[in-house]
Chain A
Amino acid sequence: MPGHCSAPACDGPVMISPMHRVDTTLAARLHDRARASRWQVSVEAFGAALERSAAKSGLPAGSSLERYLSSLHLEDLALACACAGGHDEAWEHFVREFRPVLYRAADAMAPGGGARDVADALYAELYGVSNSGEARTSLLTYFHGRSSLATWLRAVLSQRVIDRARTWKRLSPLPEDESALPAAPPASASRCLERVMAALKDALARLDDRDRLRLGWYHAQQMTLAAIGKALGEHEATVSRQLTRARKQVRAGIETALTAAGLSSSEIDDCMAEAAADPGTMDVGELLGSRKIAGGDRSFHEEPV
């Protein structure tokens, strides 16, 4: 049926557990709320998309399926469903509303325009690529409505921009001139560095997730206090206060460890200054990742986008 959503994104065969089944009445009600009919998405197809979203969420037994589904970005889900199914009007709407989102995001992530090509490649995948003899597959298949479509697009784009940057960094060649390489630190400085980094690792491991997140965003990612507050749902002043407290904790941990190692106050000053000036080539391991994910469950991981 022309324009009818029939892509795998909408109604392909997927193993859905009984607790994630959506009855027709609920599907119809949400279909109306999503205004899915304007994209000619059938109730059955939209219901299948809702079921996949419920399955992705890992909704535990006893939870309200209806409450979960009602919390989804239903209109975005309907649009994604229609676009994945090749509905022309839906795609035109998507281009009009979300292509600017994609390009603004790319320009924000790389002000020199370095991410535009990533956005272009992503745009093509959103439309869908088709291998010979196979149906067109759109990246929008992996949108499940838990976030807004705009947020999801930014996540996908950011992931690709970051991964490309990390790949380039790994592949950057070493300087040919050996004198450009940093000189090995003296033995005493190496011991100092080892102590400081070990103490730093321990101190960071004792922080809770939110503290490590704020420190990572602020120091490693150079995010502003306002941006961190926005991401965590905290006031800017709260972020500032928490960062100060966490930094104090880290410092106290390092000082305690160095004091226990027999260093005097002035030696601690020198040791920390040396470590800060040149971390050296120590194996930092996973300083922040030393804590295992409690009940790490890969069930909420989908095919990497």
Chain B
Amino acid sequence: MSAADPRDRAVDSLLRRTLGETPVDTRQCPDAETLAAWMDGALNGAPLQSTETHVAGCARCQAITAGMTVAATAARPASDAAPARGWFDWRWMVPLAAGAAAVLAWAVLPESRQTVDTLARGGTAAPVAELPAAPAEAPPQSQPAPASEPAASLKAGSDTSAATPAVVAGRSRRAELPAAPETVTETVTVTGSAPLLDASTTPPDRPADIVAEAAPAPAATAPPPAPTAQTAPAAPAADRTRAGQAAFKAAPSPLWRVNAGRVERSGDNGASWQDVPAPSPVRAVAGPSAAVVWAAGSRGGVLRSTDGGATWQTLTAPSPTDLVSVDATSDQHAIVTDTAGARFETHDGGRTWAKA
């Protein structure tokens, strides 16, 4: 915070000197396993509330969690670090190549033109020829199981948002590209307005402590191969439709989870996970079908995607408080729960909410 005002300086000094000195009764402190669960966003309901209340008032637990955050930031593999932005960075070639290939495919294939146009409008796409599957990425550590409701447990029979896994797979690969120019078309509905930042008194960051953090990017050690026009078979339209439908039926529903506020998706039943960029950090996610996924986060934030996470809609907040869970059965129906246990339900894709 800016030190321009003497009283603000005094308040900052008082806070700095006193907040770290509060006496602590360690018998009330959560154990390490609970703190870890809290930091990973795995707590809900009463345990979440009580842990957060305790840490908010405990200098010891604040120090422990601060240490965990520092350690977590330092633990990222080098491949996750922000790439050096020299005048030429080969990583820029990958999205450019992908974009060029997409343009070429759009020009060559009428069906793909429909897909791109439809998706750009945030709608659903008809099945198209199967694109090359995203390459499996070797995780640096053992991969945990899905944290969200398994999509396999919900039937997508009534779901009409049938973006095929083939298209989803292609977009998953695009989502895996390094965090250089984002080529994903994003449909964002801004609800309400955020208060303007008070530039004169905003807290300064600490240059000495700032660690270069990459935008959410997967731990890719090598760039995935750029799609080329040769990978799209020039079969008749009817055959491509049948091939797409067959691929859709054969492919299993993806699994979704939240990992440190980020959405992750697994197409291989939890063996590996890919980061799916979302407009804001989330706390819970649910994927009722292959293409539909709902996410809930702080201050009533609700996101919905109908194309497997390629684009997101920011929906009307049902509650001003933090949301801790989301259940969904389709792209229209979902129930979210806030930290107080209040549940809100929508039947129109998040346009309106009512207490459940």
Q: Which residues of A contact B (CB under 8 A)?
A: 30, 33-35, 56-58, 60, 66-67, 70-76, 79, 93, 97-98, 101, 104-109, 142-152, 154-159, 161-163, 166, 196-197, 200, 209-210, 212-213, 215-227, 229-237, 239-241, 243-244, 247-248, 250-251, 254-255, 268-269, 272-273, 275-277, 279, 284-291, 293-298, 300-305
The residue on A at minimum CB distance from B201 is A244
- CB-based contact B146/A155 at 8 Å: no
Q: Can you name the residue of chain A whose Cβ is closest to the Cβ of B42? A: A146
Question: Complex: how many Å from CA A296 to CA B49?
Answer: 10
User: Do residues B11 and A235 form an inter-chain contact, with CB atoms below 8 A?
Assistant: no
B12 and A219 within 8 A (CB) = yes
Given contacts A223-B66, A279-B18, contact A233 B298 (CB under 8 A): yes
Chain B residues with Cβ under 8 A from A155's Cβ?
32-33, 35-36, 39, 64, 68
Tell me if B19 and A219 are in contact (CB < 8 A).
Answer: yes
Name the A residues within 8 Å of B281 (CB-CB): 229, 233-235
A225 to B148, CA, bound (A): 28
Specify which chain B residues have a CB less than 8 angstroms from the CB of A244 in the assembled complex: 1, 197-198, 201-203
CA A156 to CA B35, docked complex, whole Å: 9
Tell me the B33-68 residues at the A interface (CB within 8 Å).
Answer: 33-37, 39-43, 45-47, 49-60, 62-68
Contact (Cβ within 8 A) B18 A200: yes
Given that A162-B67, A230-B260, A295-B50 are known contacts, is A247 also in contact with B298, CB under 8 Å in the complex? no
List the interface of chain B (C-beta within 8 A of A).
1, 6-24, 26, 28, 30-37, 39-43, 45-47, 49-60, 62-75, 140-150, 153, 194-195, 197-198, 201-203, 205-206, 209-211, 213, 257, 259-261, 269-271, 280-283, 297-298
What residues of B have a CB within 8 angstroms of the CB of A234 in the complex?
281, 298
Nearest 10 A-B pairs (CB), nearest first?
A73-B144, A220-B20, A74-B145, A158-B67, A105-B71, A108-B74, A233-B281, A289-B57, A233-B261, A146-B37
Give CA–CA (A109, B41) in the complex, Å: 22
| 13 A-B pairs whose Cβ atoms sit less than 8 Å apart in the complex | A70-B150, A72-B145, A105-B72, A146-B42, A148-B36, A152-B33, A196-B14, A221-B63, A223-B209, A224-B206, A227-B66, A229-B281, A240-B203
Which among B8, B203, B261 has the greatest number of chain A C-beta atoms within 10 A? B203
Known: A97-B141, A230-B261. A247 touches B197 (CB 8 A): no
Docked Cα-Cα span, A260 to B202, in Å, equals 29
Among B13, B198, B201, B280, point to the contact of A235 (Cβ < 8 A). B280
Given A71-B148, A76-B142, A158-B71, residue A237 in contact with residue B37 (CB < 8 A): no
Interface SS of chain A: helix
CB distance from A275 to the nearest CB of B (A): 6
Give chain A nearest CB distance to B167 CB in angstroms. 26
> Shortest distance in angstroms between B212's beta carbon and chain A's nearest beta carbon?
10
Q: Which residues of B contact A70 (CB under 8 A)?
A: 145-146, 149-150
A108-B73, A142-B31, A233-B297 given. 15 additional CB < 8 A pairs? A58-B46, A70-B146, A93-B142, A105-B75, A108-B70, A142-B33, A146-B36, A146-B40, A146-B42, A148-B40, A148-B144, A276-B13, A276-B14, A300-B34, A301-B31
